[in-house]
Amino acid sequence: MSRARELLAYFEARGDRSLDLLGRLVAIDSPTSDKGGVDRVVALLAAELREAGASVDILRQERAGDVLRAAFGSQGGRPAMLLGHLDTVWPDGEAARRPFRVEGSWAFGPGVFDMKVGLVLCVLLARAARENVLRPCLPVVCLFSGDEETGSPASRAHIEAEARGSRYVLGLEPSNPDGGAKTERKGVGRVVVEVQGVAAHAGIDPEKGVNAIEELAAQVLAVKLLESGPAGTTLHAGLIGGGVAKNVIAPKARAEFDVRVPSLAEWRRVETAVLNLRPRHPKARLHVEAALTHPPMVRTEAIASLYGKARRVAGELGFDLREGSTGGGSDGSYCAALGVPILDGLGVEGEGAHAVSERVRTDRIAWRAAFLGSLLEQVEGA
């Protein structure tokens, strides 16, 4: 039996324990906005990791969920980093409305795929290292943020500091639909356009007013024209509002756009254009904000090299690991922006992230753990 197959057999024998932990994690509501809920996940995961032999530090946050750092394996030297997050997009009460359940080879529940099953993988790996079944060639550090779903404003500094000291990063976000890794991610940006108009009575003296909603409508179309199909840049008006009453010329209006860009050059093009928007009505006033919340994760030579090694390891387990890109952001983009090699989307296969149909394949948990374990045993760097 090959070494990779030995690891697979070990993890397959622990399937019931894996599902038990996954169910307990999913049962805890942990929306990003609920620090208490995220911290309850931290407490459970910290206890499991300590019991599995890892050294655990909880990095306290004042306004966001705490950050959990765990280390196992050999001591000394720059580590391999496993990256994930503890929060979900689901509100309080969702775990009771849609409790964890297993049907056949699928597990269901809020956050089960994105990405509480990734937390289970780290516990499995730590326990295998404690039992000397897994022998990583580098120290291993697991870092889990508590506010990833909102761009990690509180935990970003911890992520970047840990990444700078690591040889490479393995992101445990959900895989591509075909089970493949993510070697590219679009950058994620936010554009806000606010219009200040002039209120007036809509029936008596409308000519004295400046309709902010009508001005905003023109600006929304102008922003939408900045999309580029060939480049892969998208802009979507996700939030819009304005006015005070039906019979009042609207004195204010506001729109917020989601922006996805494949490169920093594309972001700079969009940013320059929106910051130079001018009102169509001479008496309307515009206020525009633009921010790149996640930098693009660009497929560098180092990322390509890391992917090649991962594909070889996956082949030892009988799987052709493909690669792809995604428009979704993740904490991994912050690591890539620092020049640290990262391979993302290495979590367990499933579907329905951020949807009520969310589910994960239970029959692939052991395979993913064996795959990650083999990577940690064989790969010293990109």
- E-assigned strand segments in 86-167: 101-103, 106-108, 140-145
In this prediction, residues 92-120 reach a mean pLDDT of 97
Number of Cβ within a 10 Å radius of residue 198: 17
Q: Which residues contact 358 (CB under 8 A, 6 or more apart)?
A: 108, 109, 110, 111, 112, 113, 114, 350, 351, 352
How far from chain centre, in Å, is Cα 31? 13
In this prediction, residues 174-185 reach a mean pLDDT of 95
Q: Are 105 and 203 members of one domain?
A: no
Q: Is the pLDDT of residue 75 over 90?
A: no
Mean pLDDT over each residue of the chain, to the nearest integer:
96
In this prediction, residues 136-140 reach a mean pLDDT of 96
Q: Are 213 and 289 members of one domain?
A: yes
Contact of 232 with 262, CB cutoff 8 Å = yes
In this prediction, residues 339-347 reach a mean pLDDT of 96
Q: Are 24 and 154 members of one domain?
A: yes
Helix (H) or strand (E) holding 95: helix 94-97
Q: Are 236 and 373 members of one domain?
A: no
Q: CA 115 → CA 12, 173, 362, distances in Å?
A: 20, 6, 13
Q: Are 318 and 264 members of one domain?
A: no
CA-atom Rg of the chain in angstroms = 24
Q: Are 198 and 336 members of one domain?
A: no
Domain count across the chain: 2
Percentage of the chain lying above the pLDDT 70 cut: 100
Q: Are 167 and 210 members of one domain?
A: no
In this prediction, residues 104-128 reach a mean pLDDT of 98
Choose among 254, 316, 312: nearest CA to 285. 254
Q: Which residues contact 184 (CB under 8 A, 6 or more apart)?
A: 262, 296, 297, 298, 299, 324, 325, 326
pLDDT band at 382 (very low <50, low <70, confident <90, very high): confident
In this prediction, residues 198-208 reach a mean pLDDT of 96
DSSP 185-227: E-EEEEEEEEEE-B--BTTT-GGG-B-HHHHHHHHHHHHHTT-
293-330 pLDDT, tens digit per residue, is: 999 999 999 999 999 999 999 999 999 999 999 988 89
Q: Are 95 and 223 members of one domain?
A: no
In this prediction, residues 136-149 reach a mean pLDDT of 97
Give CA–CA dist 43/51, Å, rounded.
12
In this prediction, residues 240-258 reach a mean pLDDT of 97
Q: Is the pLDDT of residue 289 over 70?
A: yes
Q: What is the pLDDT of residue 329?
A: 86
Q: Are 280 and 329 members of one domain?
A: no
226-244 pLDDT, tens digit per residue, is: 999 999 999 999 999 999 9
Which of 265, 294, 323 marks a domain boundary?
294
Domain range enclosing 206: 187-294
Q: What is the pLDDT of residue 2?
A: 83
Which of 294, 309, 342 marks a domain boundary?
294
3-state secondary structure of 334: helix
pLDDT band at 1 (very low <50, low <70, confident <90, very high): low
Percentage of the chain lying above the pLDDT 90 cut: 96
Q: Are 161 and 308 members of one domain?
A: yes
Q: Is the pLDDT of residue 122 over 90?
A: yes
Place of tokens 């500091």: 161
Contact of 100 with 108, CB cutoff 8 Å = yes
CATH number of the structural domain spanning residue 366 = 3.40.630.10
CATH number of the structural domain spanning residue 272 = 3.30.70.360
Q: Which two tokens stand for residue 219?
A: 């600006």
Which of 261, 294, 327 marks a domain boundary?
294
pLDDT band at 76 (very low <50, low <70, confident <90, very high): confident
Give CA–CA dist 316/79, Å, rounded.
24
Choose among 248, 236, 83, 229: nearest CA to 160. 83
From 102-111, 122-131, 327-336, 367-376, the region with the lowest mean pLDDT: 327-336
Q: Are 155 and 280 members of one domain?
A: no
Q: Are 69 and 174 members of one domain?
A: yes
